[in-house]
Every structure is written in C-alpha cells, then in structure tokens.
Structure 1
C-alpha cells in the first residue's frame, strides 16, 4: 500500500524536479525574518505602527516588481541564472537588514528584499514545467504546494524560539538558509530552458504584453485574483474573533489549522481529482472557499471558527494543482516565466486590496461582510464553470496543432486469391 501511495503521489518524477523541490523546502524552512518583521520593527527599532505599516507595504510593492522582473529574466537569462541571482542577493540583503539602524535604509532594504524574494517564483514554476511531463505536472505542483506549507509551518515554529533570543539572529539564520539555497542551485540545478536564436517574429511575440493580450489567460488571472482576495480575508478573521471576545491565542489556533491540514492531506489531492476537468475542480475549490468564509458570519465560538478554517482550507488544497497546470497549458514555451510573473501579480494586489476593502466592509456592514465574501466565492465558481470549457478547447486545439500526424500504414499487398 505504501509503495502504491508513493507511486500515485511522487513516483516517476525527474531527479531535477526533486532538486528544485529540496531547494524550495530549504528556503521556506529558513524564511524567518519577514514573518516577524512588524514585531522586529516595533520592539527592536521602536517604530510607530503607522511607519511599520508603510515599511511592510514597501515589501509588498517590491514583491510585485520582483515577480515581473523574475518572469522576464527567467525567459531571457534562464531559470537557473534567475534563481541563483535572486537567492544570492536576497541572502546579502537580509543580513544587511539585520544590521540597519537608519529608517531610510530599513525602508530601502525591505523593499529590495521584497523584489528578490519574489523573483524566484516564476522561474521555479517555469523550470518545473520545463522538466516534468505534462501528465505528471499536477502531482509535481501538488508536491511543491505541500512543501511550501510544510516549510512555512516549520519556519513559524523555529522562528518563535529564535526571536525570543535575538531578533538579529532571525535575519542571520534566514540569510544563511537563503545562501544554502543558492549553493544547491549553483551545484545541483542545471539550466532547464533551451535558448532559441532570436528572430524578428520571436521578438514580436515576446514580452509581458503577450500575456496581457491573451484573453483566456487573463480571464483565468481575474478569477485567481478573486481566489487570492478571498484567501487574504484570513487577516480579517482576527478582527471578527476579537469582536466576539476571543483571544489572540485562539486566532493563532485557527490560523495553524490550515497548515496542519495541508501537510496531512495535500498528498492525497492528486488521486482525488484525477480524471476530472480542471475547470470543475476549480469551481468546487471556490465553492469551498466561499462557504468557509461565509460561516465566519455566524461564528462566535472557537469550534465554529475552526470549522470555517477547515472548509476554506479544503478549497485551497483543491485549487493548488490545477491552478499551476492551467498556466502551464496556456503559456507558450518561450513565455512560460512571463505568464507566471503576470499570474503572481494577483497575490500582492489582493494583499493590498483585501485588508483595505475588508476593513471598511467589516466596519460598515458587520457580519454581512462574510456573506458577501461567500457570495463572491460562489460567483467565481460559476465563472470557472463557464470559462473552463472554452479554455480547454483552446488547449486541445493548440496541442493538436503541435502534435505531428501519425503516418498512415502502408497498404497491404494483395494476392491473387484475395482479389
């Protein structure tokens, strides 16, 4: 049974994929500093909450820029070069940020760190598409999502112990782990993309504009923005729990549950969704997200909040594999990283929009806010049901156009008796 489970979840994937997977896991396990950045700025640097918010926003703005830059560089320079540059520079910036005292320098280094932290995302996904056969990509992306959440959970646990001793140690250890990631990339990860000679026609097709002009892709990006916007409402859950008189410790328990469920259950998702169309799986995922956050409107005790978190986490778990696979299918090979870069923009954009709109909505609409969020999830689910079939027909047509025709069998010689 164990052998069969391994074959269904991780078997048959290329060695290069596992090297990428290991590098990402090492990087996430050591991702300490930004988790505790607001507390560090308050307790160690003595900044006001307003300034802390602005500095943290700078990290988000840098992340949006870094995503686009990483996509362009990964297509032009190569995946390996982009990953190596991003992790090498990020290690240096993190260490410098730990030493910085002047506010202007903290702001500059924080924004720059956001740039180089976001650069690897498009390159990593594009490299995975390069090396993993199409039929195994859903499993590969599922494993990456699992590793990301496992590493984040481990980082949060370890970081708490380190922060209680020294805030500077957070930056030093994070920088060291990022440097280890760069070392793995340098020695173990080959370049995965084959560079083709530049021609006038290829230059005309290139650029980020090609992704923005792709209507099928941009509809998918718009729906994913809704997913990111809904998921970002988790930061608003703390306010709802506070209004119900629940403690920050209870909020921490609710926020820990998604990571636990993903680590325990994500590896079973590929088998669960196997053979089902991506549009329908995504529609079901959005429905779970919408229902999960709608439950918050009726919640007033910790078990109800835990139930809501369990429901919306099921939606996140179902959405992860098909999300990455859809982009892999839509993106031309020479623009894979650029498409990923445009896709990654939805997350910092939602990170800005969700707290701003959510705070106003909670203040003026109260618990009705969560019903609106739930309705938004259901509407987006319907959107996936409508957008899925045309998108899949386009993918099928593109695949048929690039698949060489099977040669016809030669005619069978006829004998006198057969005539």
Structure 2
C-alpha cells in the first residue's frame, strides 16, 4: 500500500508552477459551475417553463458550446491563450449573474447561448496553455491532471449547490457561480506572468517551425485528423450515455434505488481518481503509440456496452462501468495529447477547438438519440446501437493508427534520404 501511494504521488511531480495554477483555476471554475447542474430544475420550478421550452433552452446551450469552442480556438491563435482565458472567465462571471435577471423565454435562450459560448472559449485556450508549459514526457499527465481537477470540481460543485438550494435560494447559486469565475481571474493574474506565457508560446513556435512544411495547411486537408475527430465524436457519444440513459435503465429495469444509482456513478469517479494518473504515468514511459492506446480505450468502452446487452444484474452493470471507465481513461487522456501534437505550430487553438467541438456535438446528440430509441423501442435496442457505434469508432481508430504509422515511416525515410 505504501509503495502504491509513493508511486501514485510520484505522478504528480515534475510540473511547472504554471501547470498547478491552471489546474487550480480550472477546479475553481468547474466547482463553481453549479448553475448548469440545476438549471432545468430552476427553469421548471421557479420560472414555470414547460419541459418543451426547457428543451429548446438546452439546445441553445449546446449550440453555444459548439460556437464558443470554435471561437476560442480562432481567438487563441490570434491573440494568445492568456487573453482568451482571462476574457472568458471575466465575462462568464458577470454573464451568469446577469441570467438571474432574465425571465422571458427568448431572453433566456439568447442569454444561455451567449454565456455558454463565452464560457467555452476557455477550453481550447486552456488546452494550449497546458501544452505550452509541458514537454513530450509529461504533457499527457499534465492534461490528465487538469481533467482530474474538472472531475473533482464536478463532484464538489453539486454538494455546494445542494446546500444552497436546500434554503430555496437560487439567486445565491448564480452569485456563487459568477464570483468563482472572478476569483479564478484574480488567482490567474496574481500567479501567472503574462510575458512568460508569450515567451513560452514563441519558443514552441520556433521549435515547431519545420512542421509547417510537413503537415497539411488546413484541418480539412488533414484526413487523419478528420478521422480522429469523427472517432472522438462517436466514443464521446457512448460516454455521455453513462450519465443519461444508464441511470434511467438502472432505475426502471434493475429497480435500483437513488442511493445505489449514485454509488454506481461515484464508482466511475472513484476509479478515475485512484488509477488514472498512475496508469497514464506508466504508459507515458512505454514506447506504445498514442493512437494504439486510444484504440485500446475505444475497445474497452465498447465492450462495456456489449455487457449491457446481457445486463440483468448489478454484477454485470459494475463490470460494464469498470470497462467504460478504463476506456474513458485511455481514450480521453491520450486523445488530448494527439490533438495537440497533430496541430500545426501557430494553429494549436484551432485544432483543440475542433477536438472540443466533437465532444460538444456528442453531448447534444447522445442523450436525445438514446432517449428516442428507448422511447420507441427498448433499452436492448439502445445498447445494441451503442455497441455498433462503438465498433465503428474502433474501426476508425484502427485506420488512424495504421495511417499514422505509415506517415511516420514515410517521414523517417524522407529524413534519412535528405
């Protein structure tokens, strides 16, 4: 046990101060993002909107996320990640507070779209910022560290929100959410040296200048990155079922209590917290290609949904969640790294934006399509559909791995001839 703990904490060493600051503000930002967690309840019970109207409001949030990721990538490449992150946190803070003063359907739709779009410009800028303060040896661990902060924020956020709502004070929820964004800005400005950030950015650009001649000039011309994006969308589509249709299945078909359902969801978070960093730390030291690890991740996640086809007990369900969680760890950690290393120098923001957009699109479509299939057919049909989608994702990742190996071989051959 002591040996494991030492190994576990070793994986948190070797990061620069900037990485820890970015991790801290990301945690504060996610822990404070509690309005969105209870937005449906607030709109339905406090403002008395119908479920259909709330559905359209959630669509506005999804579209805002897509637009925000795209815009964030463009702005990051033009102005740099420091300016984008600072502006996003500042405007989001005041934007969330402003939403509490909106009561009209159209006003709220526009407000949610704008706030989500502004908030999601943060994501591609944050990815680029983290990558610029790491190297090849610790980049995946650093991105995993930030994802860990996001998960911890998601866990602690609802607890704080629940205590606030218990007193029937939704207004306080908006204020806390907005203030945490401003708090993150303050920490950011006090602990991060802007000149150092731009110096790091310039060093990266000089180091990767040769890549401009070896990589496609546009994402649309980069067929391998397009394959990666579509495969990422499909696997993210599967992952979001974990928080939408699977809990519903646990309740309706397996007749589990809310406590049991909550514990099963907590199992996912607990496994990620305990094993993600050690596993990523181990894999970073191996010679296994990122595309191959991603392929294995897709296989684990898909096998989790195959188990759901035969799930008639909680044992099968636990095995399913275990497989999905292993897939999640392998997939998302190394996908972040692949997206950044694939990017052309000076266009990292654009590449990370498109990667983030694949998740936003999956988050919009996954619950909607899953629920339609369940409503018109049954749960078995939904798990079968997800298994087929997973197999398509595996095929695409296999093709990607094959193409990247051929691309690397050809590049090495050209270098040896030169």
TM over 0.5: yes
**Equivalent of 1:220 in 225, 228, 248:** 228
- What residue in structure 1 maps to residue 192 of structure 2? 189
**2:277 aligns with one of 267, 273, 282:** 267
Q: CA deviation at 1:3?
A: 5.1
Shift of residue 48, structure 1, vs aligned partner: 0.9
In structure 1, the gaps of 5 or more residues are 198-203, 406-419
Spell out, residue by residue over 1:120-155, the C-alpha distance to the aligned partner (whole angstroms, 9 max, x if none): 100001111112112211111121121111111111
User: What does 1:17-416 correspond to in 2, within 5 Å?
Assistant: 17-165=19-167, 166-191=169-194, 192-193=197-198, 194=201, 210-234=218-242, 235-244=244-253, 245-274=255-284, 275=286, 276-366=288-378, 367-394=380-407
Cα 1:70/1:343, change in 2 over 3 Å: same
Q: How far apart are the structure 2 equivalents of 1:172 and 1:151? A: 17
In 1, distance between residues paired with 2:330 and 2:202?
Answer: 34
SS of 2:65's equivalent in the other structure is helix
Please state whether the residue corresponding to 1:345 is helix, strand or coil.
Answer: helix
Structure number with bigger Rg: 1
Q: Secondary structure at the match of 2:330?
A: helix
| CA pair 398-380 structure 1, distance change in 2 beyond 3 A | same
1:109 Cα offset (Å): 1.6
1:51 positional shift: 0.8
For residues 408 and 118 of structure 2, the distance between their equivalents in structure 1, rounded to whole angstroms, comes to 33
Q: Structure 2: how far apart are the matches of 1:100 and 1:259?
A: 35
Distance in 1, matches of 2:17 and 2:311, equals: 46
Q: CA deviation at 1:353?
A: 2.0
SS at 2:137's partner residue?
Answer: helix
Q: Report the Cα distance in structure 1 between the residues aligned to 2:407 and 2:289, rounded to whole angstroms.
A: 14
Structure 2: distance between partners of 1:396 and 1:116: 42
Native 8 Å contact 2:291 2:338 kept in 1: no
Separation of aligned partners in 1, 2:84 and 2:76: 6
Shift of 1:13: 1.6
Bigger mean CA deviation after superposition, 358-367 or 241-250 = 241-250
Distance across 2 between alignment mates of 1:214 and 1:99: 45
Deviation of 1:215 (Å): 1.0
Tell me how far apart the structure 1 counterparts of residues 372 and 310 of structure 2 sit (CA, whole Å): 19
> Is 2:228–2:396's contact at 8 Å kept on the other side of the alignment?
no
Structure 1 residues 333 and 249, CA, compared in 2 at 3 Å: closer, same or farther? same
CA distance in structure 1 between the aligned counterparts of 2:222 and 2:332, rounded to whole angstroms: 22
State the alpha-carbon separation in 1 of the partners of residues 414 and 110 from structure 2.
48
Mapped to 2, the partners of 1:267 and 1:169 lie a distance apart of 35
Offset of residue 377 of structure 1: 1.9
* Alpha-carbon shift at residue 167 of structure 1 (Å): 1.3
Alignment check: 8 A CA contact 1:282 1:381 kept = no
Q: Structure 1's 3 and 360: CA in aligned 2 closer, same or farther, altered over 3 A? A: closer
- Distance change (3 Å), C-alpha of 1:144 and 1:397: farther
Structure 1 residues 314-342: Cα deviation after superposition (integer angstroms, max 9, x where no partner): 11011122111111211012000110011
Q: Verify the 8 A CA contact 1:60 1:348 in the aligned structure 2.
A: yes
What count of residue pairs does the alignment treat as equivalent? 397
